[in-house]
Amino acid sequence: MTRISSNSTLFGIIVASLCLLPPAALADGKDVNSYVGTWILNVAKSRFRPGPPMQSETLIITETGGLWHVTDDEHFADGTSDHLEWSTKLNGTNNPITGGPDVDSVTDRLAKSYNATFMKAGRPVIWETARVIDGVMHSSIHGKLPDGTPWKYYLVFERQR
């Protein structure tokens, strides 16, 4: 089966942004440092509608002076891959994304959960709601393929120690 080109890059971008949640977003009050590090997608615990699932994804999150930097390496079922990067302060401003053909910016906000809108040429294309609970990242993301077909993913990431 081939990669869903219209949202595969978006998938990784959105998931990577989940790692950026500061302690105010968490019911259990974990500190910001718990998000810095490396996260690996657990494909077996995730759901991809429509499929196929990704082969793997690795997110690396660093923080410097209140600015979060994310690198996201994605590997797809058709053998292709993407390397995405962006930085954000999670303050609701629009932040550029490099390395992906399907999106070029993200606007993200923080409340009890992380909420993001990913855009291409100023047009919203993906929406996400996510939380980190007990060291596991849970994300619900959705959008539409160019032909109008809706897609929705439930993703589970585990932090590497």
Decide if 1 is inside a domain: no
Label residues 52-87 b or e (16+ Cβ within 10 Å = b).
ebbbebbbbbeeeeeebebbbbbbbbeeebbebbbe
Q: Is residue 151 part of a domain?
A: yes
Q: Say whether pLDDT at 10 is over 70.
A: no
- Band the pLDDT of 101: cuts 50, 70, 90: confident
State pTM to two decimals. Answer: 0.75
Q: Which of 16, 20, 55 is nearest to 39 (CA)?
A: 16
pLDDT in tens, 131-160: 878 888 888 999 987 788 899 999 999 998
CATH number at residue 90: 2.40.128.120
In a domain, 3, yes or no: no
Q: How many domains does the chain have?
A: 1
